[in-house]
Every structure is written in C-alpha cells, then in structure tokens.
Chain A
C-alpha cells in the first residue's frame, strides 16, 4: 500500500522536482591568491566586503531575482529570503550603498566579468569557460 502511494506520488511530481538543484559556480576573470568561503561570498554580494586581497575593488554582479541560479545562490550563500534581502537593500539605500549590478543572463555575466576588472558573478557550473576562475561551487542540498 505504502509503495503504491509512493509510486503514485512520484508519477504526479513534475520532472524538475526529481532533478538535483544545479551546481552554481562563483567565477571571476582573475583572482590572485583568492580563495573564498560561502560567508566571504555572502559579504561580497551584500557589499560588506568591497576589496580583493590585492586591494582592487570587487564588482559583484547579480542575475535577475527570478533567475534559478540567483535563487540557488541566495538560498545557499546569502541564506536570506527575497523579502529579507529587499529590506536589507532598502536600509543600504538609506546609507547610500547600491545593490550589485544586475544582468539578464549568464552569458551577459560572463561577458561582464571578461570586460570589468574585479568583477565576480555566479553561473551554472556547466557554463563555466576555461578563461574563468572558479572561486566557489555551491549546491542546495
């Protein structure tokens, strides 16, 4: 009886629910001597950390709020819900701090990283090109 119910449930589930969440890679063009933890990555994307170890400015770049990679990144690294993040950025706006750049696609993120010194962004791991350095890989459990 229990096995039948489990089989029925599986049949009714949409295909995406059976797939593991994609691995997300935090990438940059060059990062001399950089290793980055999830906490450090969160500080970069909350604009609490502004500089690389060599003293150059970090330029974090986001995907749109409804993008699957951004949602995975926000949950796994920032560990805040969307509403909490909106409230956080409203407070930062009052302090004169802008949220990270938002670009429409992972291809745009890669192009931005190639063009802008210090840029860092996240994309699905299978889209990482050889000229990009992977700083961190995250995946939702």
Chain B
C-alpha cells in the first residue's frame, strides 16, 4: 500500500514537472478567491481542497462533533492535451462525543489520481482512480458543494463509488441540447481500497446524459463483480436535475439484479427525490425522500428536511433533520431520528 502511495506521489510530481508548457493558458494571478484554488506561480499547477466539520445527534448514540474531511487537490494541465488530478483526503480523523471521549485516527486516502488525454471534445480518455460516473451526486460530493449534510444512499450504496481503471468520455452539442457519454472499465485491484462501501476488481459501465435548457437526464448501465462476495451486479437507472428560477428538483434511481456464486438471484434498488427552494440567494430549504431495498431484502427509508446557508458560493452551513428506518447494509446499526449539522469550505 505504501509503495502505491509513493508511486502516486511520484506520478503527480512527474506530470507536474512537465506542466511548464501550460503558461499561455494559465490565468495570470489576480489574487486568491475562495473556491478557485491557488495557482503555484506560472507552473500551471493548482492547489485546492475542502474541509468539513460536522455534528450529529442520533437517537441511539452519543452526540458527536468531528473533523470529517480534510481534502487536498493538486491538479493542472500539461500542454494542450494532458490534464492531471490528485486528491488525498483525511477522513473522520478527529472526533469528540458528548461523553467527552476523543477519537483520533489516521485515515489518509487517495480519493482520486488520474491522467486525462484530451483528444477532442467527443473523445477524452482518463486513466487512474476516479469517481464512478453514475448519477449526479457521486461526482460532485464534497460537503461545501452539496445541499444536505447526509448523502443519499442511492449515490453510493449500490455501486463502487470509485473506479480504478479507464474511462472514455466526451460530449456533442446540438441545436438545442447537449449529449454527454462515458464508458468506463476496471479489471484490476482498486488503488487504495479504504475508499467506498462497495469494492470491485471487475466493472464495465457507461452513462448517457442529455442536457436541454435547465433539465438534465442521465441513464447508466453498469455490471460489476463484488470483490468479497463475488456477487455479480447488473444495474441501470436514471438521474434527473431540473431547475426553475428558485426551485430545483433532483433525483437518482439505481435498480438491478444481483446474481450470487450459488446461482441465486435477487433484486436491489435505491432512489431518492429531492426538492430545493431558494428562499434567498444564500438561504435554501431542502426536502428529500429516500427508499432502498438491498439484495438481502433489507429495506431502508429516510426523510430529510434541511436548511442550507451559503454566505459565499464556496462555503456552506447546514442543518438537517433526518428520520430513518430500516437498514440497507446488514452491518448497519439500528437507525432512527437524528439532527445533523455541518460547516464546509472549498478552498
């Protein structure tokens, strides 16, 4: 594992060292703006990241306050065809609960490490570890950019949230609509297995997304073999984002079949529908309903009501009330009502 991390850092430094050719397309420094990242002089290398602090007060457990995520990005372009990106994240590394118990852990993960070759707008190739392009939430999931403290199960629970492999993607623009596509594949061990609830070493998938005016609709089709159980999961679904002036409706659904080694088959699905109302430019009211059923026939439902305050576009203060029942993963603890709060900054 250590060797892989060293290799990751070495790859980043190697790619970064070739970035000087990028001078012409790198914005001249106009001072730092929160959420834009920090350019390292004229090297073409940019630093960024985000930090999240969250508080939970669940029914059956002590209340807690945690530094949930500290994430650092290093990214940039090398010439006009190459783009690189690295994200290292320290997750849930310091926590104190209402009994005064302090927990500190070292959970540094490589969340993303990839190289893009930009051949044309319709053909780009990515190799490395990246966020699995299913739905809308998974690819843009950091707390400062999302609407609620909790993350809907459908955005990570039914598929490996990370892929270590190859992705081919691109877009076409028509008279009134744009079409994006992506095809991705993995046939190897994951880079840094500590990320994600579902793990795979074999996955093939794709997604088509159509955007017209202020509506986006995506359809994925994915097949993967789960690393530990050898279950073969084939799923499809849909995701939707529709925006009006002060309203946004967002939803995701994944539904599929799970075939076990012993030949048995089961269904599995997860979905959510979320509505957002902008009370002002900075204050948003959110409601969300989730429902899921696992391959073990466990059912999970959750209803959330939240308030989000964005004093700046790159900063969020959230509070959420969530009522959960049932469970999705067999190892999950009993669920109930909880109050959640978070503070996040993208830098």
Residues of B within 8 A of A59 (CB): 24-25
Given contacts A50-B118, A94-B346, A96-B85, contact A101 B140 (CB under 8 A): no
Any chain A CB within 8 A of the CB of B145? yes
Residue contacts A-B, CB under 8 angstroms, 26 given:
A39-B175, A48-B173, A48-B178, A51-B118, A56-B80, A57-B80, A59-B24, A59-B25, A83-B313, A89-B36, A90-B145, A91-B140, A94-B48, A94-B145, A95-B140, A96-B75, A96-B84, A98-B77, A99-B27, A100-B27, A101-B28, A102-B27, A102-B28, A116-B25, A117-B24, A118-B80
Bound complex: CA A86 to CA B282 (Å): 13
- Specify the chain A residue showing the minimal Cβ separation from B23: A116
Q: Is the CB of B281 within 8 A of A83?
A: yes
- Specify the chain B residue showing the minimal Cβ separation from A88: B313
- Specify the chain A residue showing the minimal Cβ separation from B48: A93
Q: Is the CB of A93 within 8 A of B25?
A: no
Any chain A CB within 8 A of the CB of B171? yes
Residues of A within 8 A of B139 (CB): 95
**Interchain CB contact (< 8 A) of A51 among B46, B84, B120, B281:** B120
Q: Is the CB of B36 within 8 A of A93?
A: yes
Any chain A CB within 8 A of the CB of B101? no
Given contacts A39-B173, A86-B313, A96-B73, 12 further A-B contacts (CB under 8 A): A56-B80, A57-B25, A57-B81, A59-B25, A90-B145, A90-B346, A94-B73, A96-B83, A96-B84, A101-B27, A117-B24, A118-B80
Any chain B CB within 8 A of the CB of A40? yes
Category for how many chain A residues contact B: 20 to 34
Tell me the minimal C-beta distance from B61 to chain A in angstroms.
31
Bound complex: CA A48 to CA B169 (Å): 12
B169-195 vs A, Cβ < 8 Å mask (1 yes, 0 no): 001010110100000000000000000
Residues of B within 8 A of A117 (CB): 24
**Interchain CB contact (< 8 A) of A40 among B35, B173, B314:** B173
Residues of B within 8 A of A90 (CB): 35, 144-145, 313-314, 346
Q: Is the CB of B27 within 8 A of A98?
A: yes
Any chain B CB within 8 A of the CB of A87? yes
B53-88 contacts to A, CB under 8 A, are 73, 75-77, 80-81, 83-85
Bound complex: CA A91 to CA B48 (Å): 12
Any chain B CB within 8 A of the CB of A55? yes
- Specify the chain B residue showing the minimal Cβ separation from A116: B24
Bound complex: CA A90 to CA B26 (Å): 17
Bound complex: CA A91 to CA B216 (Å): 16
Any chain A CB within 8 A of the CB of B121? yes
Given contacts A91-B140, A102-B28, contact A51 B346 (CB under 8 A): no
